[in-house]
Amino acid sequence: MRDPSLAQGPDGIFHMVWTTGWWDQTIGYANSKNLIEWSEQRAIPVMTHEPTARNAWAPELFYDDLEKQWLIVWATTIPGRFPGADQPGNNEKNHRIYYTATKDFKTFAATKLFFDPGFNIIDAIILKENGKYYLIFKDERENPAKKDLRLAVSTRAIGPYTQVSEPFTRDWVEGPSAIRINGDWIVFFDIYRERRYGAVKSKDLRTWEDITSAISFPKDHRHGTVLKVPSGVGQKLNE
């Protein structure tokens, strides 16, 4: 169980998805009312219809309140799907972001391509701000190495996303998670080569300030999710 994405629905139920294995074509799923007692874990076969799909990495949840449905996005490499872009220096991984949609986590829409900026990307998350949607993702290009976070913009949660930004973080980071606090968007990320976390903040998702020195995380914390929970849920977790 790696790369968990955790979100609470309008009905109060918490939903979680995660990477089940490096080379799986499925993602994991479970739900909970209180973050203590959980449903049985299930495997969602998001890429089993693509026999050569190498993986299904870092799924992320987003509730589209306009369409009243959940979107799940993740990164997959399908060899040869984007000719000329497979990178031998990166173990021939050439990810794009794919997605499915669901209203009940029992039935799922057919998997489709979600975002292709023309290069290798992983670890995408969706934010909503002032009627627009922002996709934050990791630029996974290897030659030359990028390994930073960028964003793209859309008028719909489902896309299309355009206007790919320049990097807004340092290099060699991944696994973003974001939350709005006191008028600022704060984006946390894993500085994985140094085995520690970092963060930046912005009021407009255009101008960013590094606030890594102002945060702390438990030792060995990796690619997680930040979210707000009702006070009663938080109190029980601390009992």
User: What pLDDT does residue 85 have?
Assistant: 57
175 alpha-carbon distance from chain centroid: 7
Nearest to 99, CA basis, from 135, 80, 75: 75
* CATH number for the domain harbouring residue 67: 2.115.10.20
Q: How far apart are CA 106 and CA 211, in angstroms?
A: 40
Q: Which domain holds residue 73?
A: 2-237
pLDDT of residue 217: 87
The DSSP code for 55 is: -
β-strand 132-139 against 112-115: which pairing, if any? unpaired
Q: What is the mean pLDDT of each run of 10 residues along the chain (239 residues)?
A: 96 97 97 97 98 97 98 96 64 89 98 96 97 97 90 98 98 97 96 94 98 90 91 91
Separation of alpha carbons 226 and 112, rounded Å: 27
- The reported pLDDT for the residue numbered 89 is 52
Residue 156 tokens read as 């719909």
Residue 143, pLDDT score: 80
Residue-by-residue DSSP string for 124-185: EEEEEETTEEEEEEEE--BTTB--EEEEEEESSTT---B-PPPP-S-SS-EEEEEEEETTEE
How much is the pLDDT for 84?
63
How many CB atoms lie under 10 A from the CB of residue 57?
21
- Count up the domains in the chain and report the number: 1
Which amino acid is located at 234 in the chain? G
- Which pLDDT score is estimated for 53? 97
Give the residue from 25, 74, 73, 28 showing the smallest Cα distance to 52.
25
pLDDT at 222: 87
Cis previous bond, 51, omega within 30: no
